């Protein structure tokens, strides 16, 4: 190997997965090696390379591909997507957003947590990175944290033993390896962002969970007692109740220690019973009430929505309108939509005027049945326990204009 990084340990502690380059001209790919040492074994053969390995239930390898050139992660014309690969099977694409999806980690409940940009219409507008989740079959993409506030750069999210989600934040170029450590609580990730350590710790390269809720962190030693201002990054074990980062447990002044991780067995995450139907060309979206939203409408005191307009980003990146769906009197909508493309939504009043707008980001897996409470509904809202009127009719069917579509359903 001429380069290697992003180590990830199997649940039984026997194998270490990592991203590596076998030669200067070779693509990055995922390898695995026995935890006691040995010759690495090639696991992926992705065109354009693979990076950011993580492990889900039943030995499923999760990774991002392709690997953009250095410094082009968020500006590449071919964004990186997350894939899942079961042992002995071909990889399957999980994300279809317009921006790269990277830094995947698997939570104990089986969901895949990853980093991507907040949806936006202007692709040249400043990019705001945040955290999203999907199930371990690529379904139910959901906003998780930092959508309302945040910094320019987020990477390496990790679930800690006490239920917090740690990640690195920075205001710097994406190629820089260091930042500071922050966290959110998994019970309320959208409202609990704070510093991970008791004191601000700049120059943090990675954070990993340890037994007894301790943290294994790689942090720059600049400013520590006895070190010069030109210091390297060392490995620290930080106790859960520590008020200071303490002394390093491994420190070689001639090296930067960037990605320390514990080689040990641990509990395997939960799985997910998938409803994905390989080969299906459509999925289903059921919205209980498109009028239930925390977003400001285009006009004050808006009338109830009469139609839902759906659009998608084609392979060229151009936005294409798929059509309109009538909204039932209770605000519900049920519609078949194409899979594997970023989808956006507009609610319109009876005059055809725009009420609310959702940039193209949501996607569907083949055969996925996706339900939501509303359009940008408040996060603390639960749906009413009623059967939506739209569910009493056959779904409307929308597709790209050059595809054959069935007649639209009428609103109940």
Residues 102 and 172 in one domain: yes
Mean pLDDT of the region 62-75: 91
**Cβ atoms < 10 Å from Cβ of 253:** 10
Q: What is the CATH number of the domain that holds 389?
A: 2.60.40
Residues 233 and 288 in one domain: no
Give the domain-ending residue among 184, 208, 238.
238
Quick one: pLDDT at residue 275?
Answer: 85
User: Residue 404 domain-assigned?
Assistant: no
Quick one: pLDDT at residue 271?
Answer: 86
Quick one: pLDDT at residue 222?
Answer: 73
Residues 59 and 142 in one domain: yes
Q: Taking the chain, what is the end-to-end CA distance rounded to the nearest angstrom? A: 63
Q: Identify which has the larger pLDDT, 179 or 97.
A: 97
Quick one: pLDDT at residue 404?
Answer: 45
Burial of 70 (0-12, 13-18, 19+ CB in 10 A): exposed
Q: Which two tokens stand for residue 403?
A: 């595809």
Of the candidates 361, 381, 382, 357, the residue with the CA atom closest to the CA atom of residue 134: 361
How wide is the angle at C-alpha 80 spanned by C-alphas 75 and 84, nearest 5°? 170
Residues 217 and 299 in one domain: no
User: Residue 111 domain-assigned?
Assistant: yes
Residue with tokens 């930067």: 256
Quick one: pLDDT at residue 412?
Answer: 37
Cα–Cα distances in angstroms (integers) from residue 216 to residues 166, 260, 267, in the given order: 12, 7, 18
Quick one: pLDDT at residue 409?
Answer: 36
Report the Cα 124 to chain-centroid distance in Å: 21
Quick check: helix, strand or coil at residue 297?
coil
Quick one: pLDDT at residue 411?
Answer: 37
Q: What is the CATH number of the domain that holds 46?
A: 2.120.10.30
> Are 206 and 258 in contact, with CB atoms under 8 Å apart?
yes
Range of the structural domain that residue 386 is part of: 282-397
Mean pLDDT of the region 359-381: 83
Residues 229 and 311 in one domain: no
User: What are the pLDDT digits (tens) for 188-212?
Assistant: 898 889 999 987 677 899 999 999 9
Quick check: helix, strand or coil at residue 80?
coil
Residues 93 and 227 in one domain: yes
Mean pLDDT of the region 213-235: 77
Quick one: pLDDT at residue 60?
Answer: 96
Residues 90 and 200 in one domain: yes
Sequence-separated (6 or more) residues with CB below 8 Å from residue 175: 70, 71
User: Residue 263 domain-assigned?
Assistant: no
Q: Domain count of the chain?
A: 2
Residues 95 and 164 in one domain: yes
> Are 206 and 218 in contact, with CB atoms under 8 Å apart?
yes
Q: Which two tokens stand for residue 400?
A: 């790209």
Bridge partners, 344 (sequence order): 311
Sign of CA dihedral 51, 66, 361, 129: positive
Give the domain-ending residue among 238, 268, 297.
238
Residues 182 and 316 in one domain: no
Q: Phi and psi for 389 in degrees, rounded to 5?
A: -65, -35
Residues 148 and 294 in one domain: no
Give the domain-ending residue among 184, 218, 238.
238
User: Residue 180 domain-assigned?
Assistant: yes
Of the candidates 210, 200, 192, 94, the residue with the CA atom closest to the CA atom of residue 148: 192
User: Residue 299 domain-assigned?
Assistant: yes
Residues 177 and 309 in one domain: no
Cα–Cα distances in angstroms (integers) from residue 6 to residues 132, 155, 157, 162, 355, in the given order: 20, 12, 12, 23, 44
Residues 91 and 183 in one domain: yes
Confidence of residue 296 (pLDDT cuts 50, 70, 90): low
């Amino acid at each position: 190997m001429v380069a290697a990084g992003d180590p990830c340990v199997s649940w039984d502690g026997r194998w270490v997965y990592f991203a590596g380059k076998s030669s200067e001209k070779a693509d990055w790919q995922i390898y695995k090696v026995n935890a006691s040492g040995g010759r690495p074994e090639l696991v992926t053969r992705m065109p354009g390379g693979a990076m950011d390995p993580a492990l889900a239930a039943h030995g499923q390898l999760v990774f991002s591909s392709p690997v953009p050139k250095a410094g082009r992660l968020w500006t590449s014309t071919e964004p990186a997507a997350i894939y899942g690969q079961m042992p002995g099977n071909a990889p399957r694409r999980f994300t279809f957003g317009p921006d790269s999806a990277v830094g995947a980690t698997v939570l104990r409940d089986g969901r895949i947590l990853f980093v991507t940009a907040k949806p936006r219409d202007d692709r040249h507008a400043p990019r705001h990175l945040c955290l999203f989740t999907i199930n371990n079959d690529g379904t139910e993409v959901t906003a998780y944290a930092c959508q309302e506030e945040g910094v320019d750069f987020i990477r390496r999210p990790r679930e800690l033993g006490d239920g917090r989600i740690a990640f690195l934040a920075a205001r710097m170029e994406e190629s820089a390896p260091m930042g500071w450590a922050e966290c959110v609580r998994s019970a309320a990730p959208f409202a609990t962002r704070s510093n991970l350590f008791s004191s601000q710790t700049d120059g943090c390269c990675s954070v990993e969970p340890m037994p007894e809720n301790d943290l294994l962190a790689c942090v720059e030693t600049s400013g520590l007692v006895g070190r010069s201002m030109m210091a390297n990054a060392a490995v620290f074990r930080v106790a859960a109740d520590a008020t200071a980062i303490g002394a390093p447990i491994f420190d070689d002044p001639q090296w930067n220690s960037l990605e320390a991780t514990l080689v040990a067995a641990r509990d395997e995450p939960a799985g997910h019973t998938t409803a994905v139907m390989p080969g299906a060309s459509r999925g289903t979206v059921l919205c209980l009430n498109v009028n239930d939203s925390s977003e400001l409408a285009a006009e004050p005191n808006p009338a109830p929505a009469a139609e839902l307009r759906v659009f998608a980003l084609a392979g060229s990146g151009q936005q294409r309108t798929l059509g309109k769906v009538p909204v039932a009197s209770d605000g519900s909508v049920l519609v078949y939509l194409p899979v594997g493309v970023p989808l956006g939504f507009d609610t319109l009043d009876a005059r055809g005027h725009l009420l609310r707008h959702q940039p193209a980001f949501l996607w569907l897996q083949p055969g996925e049945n996706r339900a939501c409470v509303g359009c940008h509904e408040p996060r603390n809202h639960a749906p009413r326990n009623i059967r939506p009127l739209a569910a009493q009719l056959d779904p409307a069917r929308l597709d790209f204009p050059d595809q054959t579509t069935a007649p639209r359903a009428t609103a109940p």
